[in-house]
Amino acid sequence: MISWHRTTACDIARAVRGREVTARAVLEGCIADIEARAAPLVAVTQLLAERARAEADAVDARIAAGEDPGPLAGVPYGVKDLFDVAGRPTTAGSRVYADAPSAPCDAKAVARLKAAGAVLVATLNMDEFAYGFATINAAYGTTRNPHDLARLAGGSSGGSAAVVAAGLMPLALGSDTNGSVRVPASLTGLYGLKPTHTALPLDGVFPFAESFDDVGPFTRSVEDMERVWAVLRGEPNVPLTAADLRVARLGGRFRVNADPDQLAAMDAIAGEGPLLEIPEIGRARSAAFLITAHEGGMLHRAMLAERAMDYDPQVRDRLIAGALLPETIVDERARSGRTISPGSRRCWRTPMWSWHRPRPVPPRASRILVSRSMAGCGPRARTLVFTPRRSRSWAFPRWPCL
């Protein structure tokens, strides 16, 4: 049995496609690592060993038959427990749906990864119904940061970040509404992508707030992110390039209370790119909170009437509060938040510094604006005083964030 601990997805796929190792051997090493090391992380909610072995054997069979096994051949991965996985209930991290009917088919993102040769190994812990930033889950426990088990991995996609950062698998899927990929990626030292809104398929993903929900992958390398992005987009053979890429820096609230060393690093990356400010961007944060709370509350209103006591108490209170928000307030906040978008268009009209690199950069774009995602590193498990104050405002106009 071979251990592929901390090997990248692209390296695994190259080895499997080149017949240096079988997909089944990679999988058995992955399962052994999970069984030996995953428990302290509280990141895995269900090990899907039987399904994974069938998928790995199918990859090996395609290779033996001389067929193309796909660009992610034999790559083990996990999914946040709000993606439909055929034959099991989608719990969204809650006891409320533990006895729900099994999903009839995989979520579209899962199906695309399977078609590309990736092997689904596990479902992963999350904040209940994705409503949180810490992955403190009343049903499954608190996910720990693999760099220091006394610290949090962030949320709500904390389980996805933890298994990738720990080297248990090179790739995991999460979802991001108001920071649920960006926060754990920042706290665990990973690449995490919130794409442009609806750029990746949400079919078969349990919703939170559809105005902001997006599928987002976690990887340990840019090369892996590029390949996963192409597969999830349904364009695995379309190369990504950095031709004519232009870079600018975000100013204003994005630099307030920022760490000087991190600012210096961003300024070094952006070179002489202009410092841009987005008018009234601070209003986006409160607008996003109110819209999210209301949409989430309305989504759960009927189930709360039936099974309120089965909800995590803190999540239940947030959802009830959101459902009780007057629609006039939510509509007003949505209108005020949308005033950001016209002003922010000047970012795309402003001349930026050309940045030519030979390496592809995901996702395809002609401009990149650089800012910090969060203020701080992973907090200790009982300290909940962190906030993605910068990237939440940035994502309100539905722009991507890596």
Q: Per-residue confidence of the chain (402 residues) as pLDDT tens digits?
A: 556 778 999 999 999 999 999 999 999 999 999 999 999 999 999 999 999 999 999 999 999 999 999 999 999 999 999 999 999 999 999 999 999 999 999 999 999 999 999 999 999 999 999 999 999 999 999 999 999 999 999 999 999 999 999 999 999 999 999 999 999 999 999 999 999 999 999 999 999 999 999 999 999 999 999 999 999 999 876 666 655 667 777 788 778 878 888 888 888 877 777 887 777 777 777 888 899 999 999 999 999 999 999 999 999 999 999 999 998 877 876 766 666 555 555 554 554 343 333 333 333 334 445 555 554 456 565 444 444 556 666 666 677 888
Give the integer Cα–Cα distance in Å for 83 and 118.
Answer: 16
Q: Compute and round to an integer the Cα radius of gyration of the chain.
A: 21
- The domains of the chain are located at 9-233
- Is the preceding omega at residue 274 within 30 degrees of 0, hence cis? no
* Residues contacting residue 80 through CB under 8 Å, at least 6 positions apart: 123, 124, 126, 130, 156, 157, 159, 160, 172, 173, 174, 175
**Integer Cα distance of 296 and 317 in angstroms:** 12
Which H/E stretch holds residue 354?
strand 353-354
**3-state secondary structure (DSSP) of residue 149:** strand
Amino acid at 68: D
Cα distances (Å, whole numbers) of residue 224 to 12, 26, 47, 230, 360: 11, 17, 23, 10, 11
The alpha carbon of residue 292 and the mean position of all alpha carbons in its chain are separated, in whole angstroms, by 17
Active site residue 156: yes
Farthest-apart Cα atoms in the chain, separation: 62
Q: Give the per-residue pLDDT at 366.
A: 41
**Reduced to 3 states, what is the DSSP secondary structure of residue 50?**
helix
The catalytic position among 94, 180, 344, 393 is 180
The SS3 call for residue 114 is helix
Among 171, 190, 163, which Cα is nearest to 35's? 163
Element (H, E) at 13: helix 9-17
- Of 94, 114, 156, 194, the active-site residue reads 156
Dihedrals phi, psi of 73, to nearest 5 degrees: -55, 120
Does the active-site annotation cover 3?
no
Q: Is 88 helix (H, G, I), strand (E, B) or coil?
A: coil
Q: Hey, is 120 helix, strand or coil?
A: strand
Helices (H), 275-312: 282-307
**CATH code of the region 9-233:** 3.90.1300.10
pLDDT of 338 reads: 62
> Using an 8 Å Cβ cutoff, are 131 and 156 in contact?
yes
**CA-CA distance, 135 to 148, in Å (whole number)?**
15
Q: Does 80 qualify as catalytic in the annotation?
A: yes
How far is CA 143 from each of CA 24, 55, 137, 154, 157, rounded to the nearest angstrom?
A: 28, 27, 8, 8, 10
